[in-house]
Amino acid sequence: MLAYRKRSDAGRLTRELRAALLGVSVPTANRILAGKGVDRATLVHAFSELGLPWKDEYCSLCRDEEEADWKSSQQQDQRSQEAAPTQANPLHSGRRRLFVAAALGLMLVGLFWSLQSPVRVYLRDQRAHDLESDFIISLQQGTRAYHEARYTQARAFIERAIQRAQDLSSADKLSLALRMAGDIEAACGDLRRGLGLLQTAAELRELLHDEVHLPAIYEAMGELNTRSGNPRSAEAILLRARDGYTKMGDLNGVAACERDLGSALHAQGKLSEARKWFGAAMKKAQAHGATDLLVDITARNALVDRDLKKWSDAETTLESCLAHWKARGHKRWIAETEMQLATVKLAESKRGEGKGLLDDSYRNFTAVGDTYGASKCLSLLGTEQGR
């Protein structure tokens, strides 16, 4: 016994010291390190003694024979403690205090391997938790910046969200981030890149058999196809989006799809069909108090009035829509409506007013980084100047 203690004083971790570090008896410490069954309370206590958090997934239920063996071990342990003379805790020895730090390190190594490395599991879980929190914050901040037309900031936040989703190897999170990235790129004028990002987001959702998020991605893809000059492709994918929203009972989503279907058919020159879709969309948006959506639909419908040469109606409607967006302080939608109203003014041969609105629209599009909108303004201005 003296020789054994002498070796432990040289830095070796004794059975007694391991037990003291865990705050349990020697037989119980031996069972823990051997991976044998002990009760949950004992494990929680041992982890607490080591300053580690406990999670129930670190353990599993024992078989009946293991439970009986544990109870028998407890009874023997209790008899041994009653029979044995009281001894000083080995950690209280002045000489052993010098070895506590080293002993604790060795103890942790043995204990963690015997319990399927719970500290490594904990650290891995903590890192995953940190990555997920960063993903959520980045996605939320990017989405907010997008809706406030702060596209440079939105892009930076969403790029970070994409990186975190990749770090987590999460197809679900990656699809969420890519969908928002597609919206941002489209708002900044890169329709081709935006459509590609949305296509990738949709493919991930299809692989996951996720019918909840697919309709919104299809809707965004449909709108970009219309803006890219492919209204027939847009019509097909928007009908799929509308079916998906209908199955989920999302009437606001249905209204948004019907709005976009109206625009797709308008782009094909099918004015009466476009009018029907716009009318159906306006009813749903109004019923659900979706004011911004209703204003957008109303403005698009006014462009049908323009093409039907109902210029006075179109002008009055768009001026009302413009007042709404100015009150909201949303520069991108102000720019969009100014451009829409300019096309009505130009159709009425009110060239001065039309050009002034296009100048204002161009400045607002440029201010928010919407190069697509700005280029459309320049194209209209160039056409007007060429007359």
How does pLDDT run across 272-282, given as a tens digit for each residue? 999 999 999 99
In a domain, 187, yes or no: yes
In a domain, 217, yes or no: no
**Based on the domain organization, do 289 and 337 belong to the same domain?**
no
Q: Residue 221 contacts by C-beta under 8 Å, 6 or more apart in sequence?
A: 195, 198, 199, 202, 234, 237
**Based on the domain organization, do 299 and 348 belong to the same domain?**
no
Dihedral sign for Cα 376, 228, 247, 199, please.
Answer: negative
Long-range contacts of residues 164-171, Cβ cutoff 8 Å, at least 24 apart = 164/131, 164/132, 164/134, 164/135, 164/138, 165/135, 167/131, 168/128, 168/131, 168/132, 168/135, 171/204, 171/207, 171/208
3-class state of residue 293 by DSSP: helix
Domain count, the chain: 4
Rounded alpha-carbon distances, angstroms, from residue 370 to 139, 266, 310, 376: 20, 23, 30, 10
Pick left, alpha or beta for residue 12 (phi over 0 → left; psi -120 to 50 → alpha; otherwise beta): beta
Q: Which of 308, 337, 370 is the last residue of a domain?
A: 308
**Based on the domain organization, do 260 and 278 belong to the same domain?**
yes
Structural domain that includes position 333: 316-387
Rounded alpha-carbon distances, angstroms, from residue 23 to 49, 111, 264: 6, 13, 72
Pick left, alpha or beta for residue 35 (phi over 0 → left; psi -120 to 50 → alpha; otherwise beta): left
| pTM, rounded to two decimals | 0.64
In a domain, 69, yes or no: yes
In a domain, 93, yes or no: no
Residues 322 and 333: their CA atoms lie apart, in Å, by 8
Dihedral sign for Cα 97, 101, 104, 110, please.
Answer: negative
In a domain, 92, yes or no: no
* Cβ 268 vs Cβ 281: under 8 Å: no
**Based on the domain organization, do 49 and 145 belong to the same domain?**
no
Q: Tell me: pLDDT of 27 over 70.
A: yes
**Based on the domain organization, do 106 and 149 belong to the same domain?**
no
Average pLDDT on 133-158 reads 93
Residue 189's CATH number? 1.25.40.10
Q: For the chain, give the mean pLDDT.
A: 82
Q: Tell me: pLDDT of 6 over 60.
A: no
**Based on the domain organization, do 18 and 109 belong to the same domain?**
yes
Write down the pLDDT at residue 320.
98
In a domain, 204, yes or no: yes
Average pLDDT on 302-323 reads 97
Least confident of 34-48, 70-84, 276-290, 357-371: 70-84
Q: Tell me: pLDDT of 67 over 80.
A: no
Compare 48 and 382 and report the one with higher pLDDT: 382
Residues 188 and 224: their CA atoms lie apart, in Å, by 12
In a domain, 222, yes or no: no
**Based on the domain organization, do 179 and 236 belong to the same domain?**
no
**Based on the domain organization, do 348 and 358 belong to the same domain?**
yes
Q: Tell me: pLDDT of 299 over 70.
A: yes
